[in-house]
């Protein structure tokens, strides 16, 4: 695949590259010293029992508002006042960053890279949630050509400017981008600009990555 015709794999980070906080309650409880079974909200894994998640999916609250509510409630459980998501993520996920990365993501990224595809992360809150040092501690991110993070740009998906910044930085046409995100509003934003898309299913990550690789011709 020549550089001029290279396709690009563009991934959201939270939920797509990393396992969701819903999937790692056991790790969070251990890191925070909470009894097993303390954290019960399950988001997309059990939406009927997570009213706050339902409100977010209905656009009554934003994704950031959802996670700030969870941040404050978990902070209360450990007897602290937490006012930023970064505190929650860094305290809950501890020092082992590799433990929360999806193996399916690692495989797909290496496969796309080997085939000559360009790689990008397009995130609304990578450093906001994980902290700036996280990138340095995760070797997988060193494989990416471009990281667009609204922590710094202030432009959140699905604003069309977020996607346009990404294609410009990659030097590819919108139709050559395969975008993977677990939020439907963000997928729709990419579709409006002519991107190829995969709605990532956090309950079936391998299937989602296989669909993305297929769109890349791999």
Whole-number pLDDT of residue 2: 40
Whole-number pLDDT of residue 5: 53
CATH class of 3-18+101-215: alpha beta
**Pure H helices in 94-204:** 103-114, 126-130, 134-137, 150-153, 160-170, 184-192
- Token pair, residue 189, equals 């934003």
- Token pair, residue 116, equals 């000559």
pLDDT digits (tens, 9 = 90+) for 136-156: 889 999 999 999 999 999 999
- The model carries a pTM of 0.88
Q: What Rg, from alpha-carbon coordinates, does the chain have?
A: 17
Q: Hey, how many other C-beta atoms are within 10 angstroms of the C-beta on 8?
A: 26
Low-confidence stretches of the chain (pLDDT beneath 50): 1-4
Structural domain boundaries in the chain: 3-18+101-215, 25-96
């Amino acid at each position: 695949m020549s550089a001029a015709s290279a396709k690009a794999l563009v991934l959201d980070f939270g939920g797509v590259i990393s396992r969701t906080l819903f999937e790692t309650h056991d790790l969070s409880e251990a890191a925070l010293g909470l009894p097993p079974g303390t954290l019960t909200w399950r988001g997309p894994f059990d939406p009927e029992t997570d009213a706050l998640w339902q409100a977010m999916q209905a656009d009554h609250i934003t994704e950031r508002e959802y996670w700030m509510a969870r941040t404050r409630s978990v902070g209360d459980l450990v007897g602290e006042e937490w006012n930023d998501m970064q505190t929650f993520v860094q305290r809950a996920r501890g020092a082992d960053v590799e433990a929360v990365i999806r193996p399916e993501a690692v495989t797909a990224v290496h496969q796309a890279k080997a085939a000559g595809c360009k790689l990008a992360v397009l995130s609304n809150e990578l450093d906001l949630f994980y902290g700036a040092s996280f990138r340095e501690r995760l070797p997988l991110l060193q494989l990416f050509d471009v990281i667009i993070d609204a922590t710094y740009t202030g432009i959140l998906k699905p604003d069309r400017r977020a996607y346009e910044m990404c294609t410009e930085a990659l030097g590819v046409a919108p139709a050559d981008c395969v975008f993977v995100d677990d939020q439907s509003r963000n997928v729709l934003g990419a579709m409006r600009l002519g991107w190829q898309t995969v709605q990532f299913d956090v309950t079936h990550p391998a299937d989602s990555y296989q669909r993305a690789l297929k769109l890349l011709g791999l």
